[in-house]
Amino acid sequence: MNKIKKIIGRITDIYTEDISLNEDFINFAARFAHMNGTVILMSGGELDSARYHILAAKPWLTFTGFRNDMIISADKRKFHFKGSPFGTLKKIINHYGSQVRELDIADMPEPVYAGLFGYLSYDLKDALEKLPRTSNDDIQLPHSVFFAPSIIIVQDKTTSATTLCIPVFQNEEGLTLDATLDTFRKTVNREALIEKSFSGDAAGFKSNFNKSEYMDAITKIREYIAAGHVYQVNMSQRFEMGFRGDPYSLFKTLYRNNPAPFFSFINAGDHQIVSTSPERFLKLRGNIVETRPIKGTRPRGKTQKEDHELKNDLQKSIKDDAELSMIVDLLRNDIGKVCAAGSVKVKQHKILEAYSNVYHLVSIVEGRLDTDLDAIDLIAATFPGGSITGCPKIRAMEIIDEIEPHRRHIYTGSIGYISFSGSMDLSIAIRTATVYKDKIFFSAGGGIVFDSDPLDEFNETIYKGQTLMEVFEGKVRQPEPEDYLWFNGRLQPVKEACVPVTDQGLLFGFGFFETIRADKGKPLYLDEHIARFNNTWGNLFDSRPPDLTWDSIINEVIAKNRLTDKTAAIKILATRGNRETPPFNNTLIVMARPYIHRLEEKKIPGIKLLTYPEVRQSPLASHKTLNYLYYLLAGRWAIKMGADEALILNPDGTVSETNTANIMLISDKKVLVPFSEHVLPGIMQKALCDVLLGWGYKVEKKVIKPADLLGGEEVILSNSLMGAVPVMSIDNHTLPMPTDLCKRLKGTYRL
């Protein structure tokens, strides 16, 4: 932290300026939405909790955490360290909070003028409690993301007063105000942004539960309740869909359709958060703590009569009243851990809040924070919110992790700000979506008690998800054509192909493959590839190879994948299966994908090699087995180090091959092929050697050392996809300019 403090410097002032907007706040904020680190908090509707719009942009500090791996970024530098997410937050808040509190400033805008803006994911529960982690963290986004903005704009909806706030730093480069003001003015003086679009898959959202699975999960929770484990559990399902377009346009559309008090947009760089939450988790003003749990939901009616009946049903529901009361008691206990004795009270109970698609029951619980405790202590005592876990909280969270197949991440975590002046406002992240890697994810759930009806609970999640689902109606993109493969005798979509988990190909890599190039529907060197395939089958599987007309199968796969007029890479793959005696149940697969020559794709004249530091010695190298991880890692290492391929050495330090190709050293009309005790004979390499023999070259297999490659005339790599390509450098030693040999060879082999 000391290095970070030195880089950033000291907050010496808070610059404020009253500004006038010529457009709606949401359109004004759009000018900043594309910037990494922008957080936009919009207060929709007319409830008393919906007063301020806030924009936070251009962060001078970024804090992210994943488990106990912390990263703080400042001044284009990153600092990695191990630590507690809450402890790190506390250090940041205390350090810069003490500087802000020492300033002689007055008339600062409510509710925040300097601080941290971002999110706490639900999975931070594991930093507070020792809990089993049995659900899959398939997205693996940070558990906490916070930005300290150099630009904060606060608009009071009741007066339309809008204030710009900029923290001013004194550091080694001087005061920072001018540069920040310049960025702000250039951004706001640009022409109004053109409205962008967004779309989802035509098939719509897909859940990680089907209907019967979700209802079975509700039944299991009821059994836990009957057995005395818990009184209530919040159960959810996650929806996923492909996403294209602008996440902020999605945010704007949702806000216009159904404004709620805690709308949030976070541009976290590689992912964006879009939240339409109606629920406050924690508010801190001075030393007054407030939480507003929501329990009890009904959809809005299609007619006035139906709407009135649904509202009355919610207000009179004994089940929903008991559920809300239970969570109110849990939250009273949670905030009571850090509030003065006797100060915690229920200010209001069972308030009915109406939204465009649902009714909710809400309560307000207040307390007075103990002296010497702060916002981070309050979060640690109450996180995650009891309204979205269950009661008792710890056992409920264990059951959630057991039943829900995926980690929740942002869902039921918190979004908002923690100010350097001591105030805080965090929402519960429900009705919240994450856009990441051309996908959109969101979850919807509800509190389950013993009286819960599984079908009703399933339907409630659909009601709650309607706002996010319906916004994509009419905004779908045509589905991409499906990819097909030949799988054990029939063509089927790739996504439907399943290999049993007990297949030894999956368990041990017990299998092998052939990769074949096909030009305009014609597979090249097919007989040679199938001969090698059959030889490996006999050596590894000790049985007769399959009797198949491979060219017919390959042509079917090429045609089905729309590759008849293109260059394709064909892969034939075989696994051992799980039977030890005949009849064996091998898996046979034929796949096809478009292929672009690597020199054409990278627009480079040849290949750069780096010697992989891990030598290889394995009899499996004599075959193209599925145990291919060594080569995959070698190739990734080379690319990470700035090369194109990894040069693979034998245990004695002599040359073997590269991670994808065979090597030939050309010298004095000789073709020298490296000798290895175990190496896969190359089909393309043999074809090239046959051509070169016809041109008067001598072909010799011999032991070659890495230094020998530097002393020859030319080094050539070959495989069945790319043919022959020249090597330009080895271990950063530039080789002589390649001759036209590869070009002349290209005219002779069948590519």
| Enzyme catalytic residues | 279, 295
Tell me which residue has tokens 């659900």.
135
Q: Single out the residue of 721, 710, 716 nearest to residue 743, CA to CA.
A: 716
Residue 15's H or E segment, with its range, is: strand 10-19
Long-range contact pairs involving 21-28 (C-beta distance under 8 Å, separation at least 24): 21/155, 21/162, 23/192, 25/53, 25/55, 25/155, 25/162, 26/53, 26/252, 26/255, 27/192, 27/193, 27/252, 28/55, 28/153, 28/188
Q: Amino acid letter at 499?
A: V
Q: Token pair for residue 281?
A: 């988790």
Positive or negative: CA dihedral 30, 33, 38, 41: positive
> Which 3 state secondary structure label does DSSP give 29?
helix
Distance in angstroms (rounded) separating the CA atoms of residues 564 and 258: 49
Q: Single out the residue of 263, 217, 290 nearest to residue 39, CA to CA.
A: 263
Residues 6+ apart with CB under 8 A from 383: 120, 124, 125, 128, 414
Q: Single out the residue of 434, 448, 447 nearest to residue 406, CA to CA.
A: 434
Is the peptide bond between 613 and the residue preceding it cis, with omega within 30 degrees of 0? no
Residue 716's H or E segment, with its range, is: strand 714-719
Q: How many residues are present in the chain?
A: 751
At 123, phi and psi to the nearest 5?
-70, -5
Q: How many CB atoms lie within 10 A of CB 547?
A: 5
Q: Token pair for residue 59?
A: 């962060």
Distance in angstroms (rounded) separating the CA atoms of residues 349 and 338: 22
Q: Single out the residue of 563, 573, 597, 623 nearest to residue 723, CA to CA.
A: 597
Distance in angstroms (rounded) separating the CA atoms of residues 312 and 302: 15
Q: Amino acid letter at 705?
A: K
> Which 3 state secondary structure label does DSSP give 269?
coil
Q: How many CB atoms lie within 10 A of CB 109?
A: 21
> Pairing mode, if any, of strands 115-120 and 144-156?
antiparallel
Distance in angstroms (rounded) separating the CA atoms of residues 363 and 327: 10
Distance in angstroms (rounded) separating the CA atoms of residues 38 and 244: 20
Cβ atoms of 142 and 401 within 8 Å: the answer is no
- What residue ranges in 318-421 does DSSP mark as E strands? 345-354, 358-368, 390-391, 414-419
Cβ atoms of 287 and 369 within 8 Å: the answer is yes
Distance in angstroms (rounded) separating the CA atoms of residues 103 and 475: 51
Cα angle 513, 720, 682; round to 5: 75
> Pairing mode, if any, of strands 662-667 and 655-658?
unpaired
> Which 3 state secondary structure label does DSSP give 312?
helix
Q: How many CB atoms lie within 10 A of CB 320?
A: 21
Q: Single out the residue of 208, 116, 124, 88 nearest to residue 413, CA to CA.
A: 124
